[in-house]
Amino acid sequence: MGDGGKSGGARLAVRWMGSPIEHVTAAGWCSYSGLLATKPDEQLDLAEIERLLSVVVKGIGAAQNRERYTMNGFVIAAGSYVEPVRERAKGVARAIGEVKVNMGETACKVPLASAAIEKASGSAKRKRYGVELFLSGRGDLRARGYLAAIGVLEREHPAGYSSGSVLTSSSCWISSGES
């Protein structure tokens, strides 16, 4: 077992997942997905990932709108980037099927996790280790991309995070909370 489950980034993501605030919960799932996409498998806590996949199966139906979307993305990330849990993620993807998310009056669609994992499996998906840090117009430190930058943010900006400043989108933006 690696140290991924014990890292500050993973702990923070799991803490966010437990928030009653929809965008904070979604940021937790999205951030953990970023860890899966960027950390080597041997640095990840595979037992925790398995546990989180079980949480998705049991809870996605009752989850809030954005949380459903990012839970689905977590399943895709686990199946696409983490070889030791790929088969379990495929099973979870089949179990949850098509995830319904209210996207408003947009053309956006929720990817079918099983199809996305199969597509990634056929293309030898590689983990990405780069992350872009930048200062926003308000002067707060942000990280951009489908990312695992929480650990970087903790080291570079230890002042912490306020739940009101956590922003999510399809590219998982996370801000530090200072203006």
pLDDT tens for the chain, 179 residues long, are 444 445 778 899 999 999 999 999 999 999 999 999 888 999 999 999 999 999 999 999 999 999 999 999 999 999 999 999 999 999 999 999 999 988 888 888 888 899 999 888 766 555 555 444 444 455 554 444 433 344 434 444 344 443 333 333 333 433 333 32
Answer whether 70's CB lies under 8 Å from 29's CB: yes
pLDDT at 54: 97
pTM score over 0.75: no
Alpha carbons 167 and 173: distance in angstroms, whole number? 5
pLDDT of residue 49: 97
Q: In the chain, what are the domain boundaries?
A: 4-121, 132-175
For residues 78 and 49, is the Cβ–Cβ distance under 8 A? yes
Q: How far apart are CA 149 and CA 147, in angstroms?
A: 6
Q: What is the pLDDT of residue 89?
A: 96
